[in-house]
Structure 1
Amino acid sequence: MKKQLRKWLTILIPLLIGIGIIYYQYTTLQPEEIDKIKISFQKANYYYILLSLVIAVTGHWSRAYRWKFALNHLGYQTQFYNNFFTVSVSYLVNLTVPRSGEISRAALLKKYEDVPFDKAFGTIVAERIVDLFIFFLFVIIGFVSQFDAIYQFLLSKNISLQTLIYYAIFAIFLGIVFLLIWIYAEWNIILKLKKKLSGLIEGMMTIFKMEQKWEYLFHSFFIWFSYLAMFYVTIFALPETAEISFDIVIMGFIFGSLAVGFSNGGLGAYPFSIALIFSLYGISNDIGTAFGWLVWTSQTLLIITLGLTSYVLLPVFNRNK
């Protein structure tokens, strides 16, 4: 009973968050702003939307291709089409329950390539660690390049430098307390976390032991640059966003990526975060919202199309196995 309840809550809570954000955003928009959003969708240059989808597919391809290096290192030779199809299905599954796609991806590879679930899942965990590290690089670059803009925004919200220093000191204090607990505490939850962390570190280290680690790292960076390029080319779809600078694009990309984890595939949260970030740079709320929905809708439709197609093609391509 508890397991079923937890399963449904995992699905419903992100979904309700997304719906709540959409409702909030809709109710706070003026009627003329809603009309402008509709007009933006009508006058958008969908050539750039299509180009962004092509770039997104290259990112999917690169993720599937990168996976073979880790699997080869473990002694498994898999068909590329199975890697690509399972990656595409995992993106689709992530639209229902965030991060559940990794489980389905490993399960499908077990079914069609007979790779043990735990080993396939371990390679996916290692991927996520690398992806997280690269994303943090983007975050550092974005925040360093936009320090003045962020600082001015904080001042406009009456958040002084002294207040930020107090927050920093408090955060450092909490960090020290957590570190001491982590080192010396014998609580069951801490011991379980240590065990899981050691497994993650072990999975990460396999990357540096594989023969084709440089190809693996190349594709890791290529995946994220394809995500950024996908986001970047979309700005040319609307006249109002076509002239924005690249540093604004990076900030929109960062916060858009973070928003994906708040609800099912970023439902509601993605357009809201894009509109919020763009507003800091003088872009009107209706244009920022329209742009966010253009990106989110086009990418979500691509994920659904690729995912469903891949799910159908998996048994077709593997019918002789």
Structure 2
Amino acid sequence: MNATIIKFLKISIPLALGVFLIYYSYSKFSEQQLADISFYFSNANYGIVLLSVFFSILSHFLRAFRWNFMLEPLGYRPKLANNFMAVNIAYLMNIFIPKSGEISRAIVLDKYENVPFKKGFGTIISERVVDLIFLLGFTAIALLIQFDKLYNYLAEVIQPTKLIIALIGLITLIIVGFLFLKYSKSKLQQKVKKFYLGLKEGVFSIIHMRRKGAFLLLSCIIWGLYLLSFYTAFQALDETSIVPISTIIIVFVVGSFAFAFTNSGFGFYPFFVAGILVVFNIPETIGTAFGWIVWTSNIASIVCFGVLSLILLPFYNKIKL
């Protein structure tokens, strides 16, 4: 299949699914329910929403600061401003092309800080592994809190058969890639192997970093800020301010997966957040309004900081030079 067509499908399919979920969600509501959703939007405390967004932006700043902990063992220490703008651009890119943000972050540092792309990208992959561990940790907590309800909900959303097929496909791809790198003698293999070695160096930079304790502490603070941002957003509506922290953690996990594994949760995030809140007896109208308020406010901040970073990045580095 043509590479352009594949790229187009990667962008268009998630967007199409997001549009479908939006249509599907709202087509179920009566006129009165739609009016209720509009009421929740208009009566939300947007001062609290802004505070929630502030915690989220602060987590992005700390992520940029933490990045240097992994780059230092490779012999690089980029400017914090460049790191922060690279992170902002990454979140912006992920809105339009899923998972393209990791590539854009490495490109920014390659261009403005002379950090080789493969090494910078390797540190980002390592960082994502750490993030996945934290997300799985929160998932484990959520399962311990309400295993039955969460399991039944996920079983309806994610069919086990499809999940098994996807895992088999991933394992097969890894095995084929390994055999290609080990036994092929082609020029393509040499290029791929060279890239792989640089990537490996970046990934394993976490093992060689000097300040592992500080890295772990910052990682805990970053994920604590994610949860604090989400908890704060719950206080923006009177109807959700009474939701217990145990339920908030579960909704946080579901929302995190929806945001991380789609194009920044477009259509998916409000749908899944409303769906899991229904399990805990929160009306779907309230859950839908809440999901859209959280998603829209965060996306607005991502677009704002991302566009500003795209504009300021070349000027900052021109002045610096």
Instruction: State the TM bucket, normalised to the shorter chain.
Output: 0.7 to 0.9
Root mean square deviation of aligned Cα: 3.0
For 1:25 and 1:186, how far apart are their aligned partners in 2? 37
Instruction: Spell out, residue by residue over 1:103-144, the C-alpha distance to the aligned partner (whole angstroms, 9 max, x if none).
Output: 111101111111111111011010001110111000001111
Aligned AA for 2:11?
Answer: I
CA contact (8 A) 1:126 1:203 kept: yes
For 2:96 and 2:210, how far apart are their aligned partners in 1? 36
Matches within 5 A, 1:286-305: 286-305=285-304
Q: SS of 1:317's equivalent?
A: helix
Change (3 A) 1:76 1:154: closer
- Please state how far the C-alpha of 1:205 moved relative to its aligned partner: 3.8
What does residue 73 of structure 1 align with?
Answer: 73
Which residue of 155, 174, 191 maps to 2:179?
191
Point out where structure 2 has 5 or more consecutive residues left out of the alignment.
Answer: 183-192
TM-score normalised by structure 2 residue count? 0.86
Instruction: Spell out, residue by residue over 1:61-83, the C-alpha distance to the aligned partner (whole angstroms, 9 max, x if none).
Output: 11100001111111012110000
1:123 aligns with 2:123: yes
For 1:315 and 1:50, how far apart are their aligned partners in 2? 29
Point out where structure 1 has 5 or more consecutive residues left out of the alignment.
Answer: 158-166
TM-score normalised by structure 1 residue count? 0.86
What does residue 16 of structure 1 align with?
Answer: 16
Change (3 A) 1:189 1:75: closer
Percent identity, please.
42
Segments of 4+ in structure 1 off by > 6 A? 151-155, 193-202
Q: SS of 1:231's equivalent?
A: helix
CA contact (8 A) 1:85 1:314 kept: yes
Q: SS of 1:95's equivalent?
A: helix
Q: SS of 2:235's equivalent?
A: helix
- Please state how far the C-alpha of 1:148 moved relative to its aligned partner: 4.6
For 1:48 and 1:186, how far apart are their aligned partners in 2? 45
- How many residue pairs align between the two structures? 304
Aligned AA for 1:213?
Answer: K
Matches within 5 A, 1:1-321: 2-150=2-150, 188-189=176-177, 191=179, 203-261=202-260, 263-320=262-319, 321=321
Change (3 A) 1:123 1:256: same
- Please state how far the C-alpha of 1:45 moved relative to its aligned partner: 0.8
Q: SS of 2:39's equivalent?
A: helix
- Please state how far the C-alpha of 1:191 moved relative to its aligned partner: 3.0
CA contact (8 A) 1:63 1:223 kept: yes
Worse-superposed segment, 136-145 or 217-226:
217-226
- Please state how far the C-alpha of 1:288 moved relative to its aligned partner: 0.3
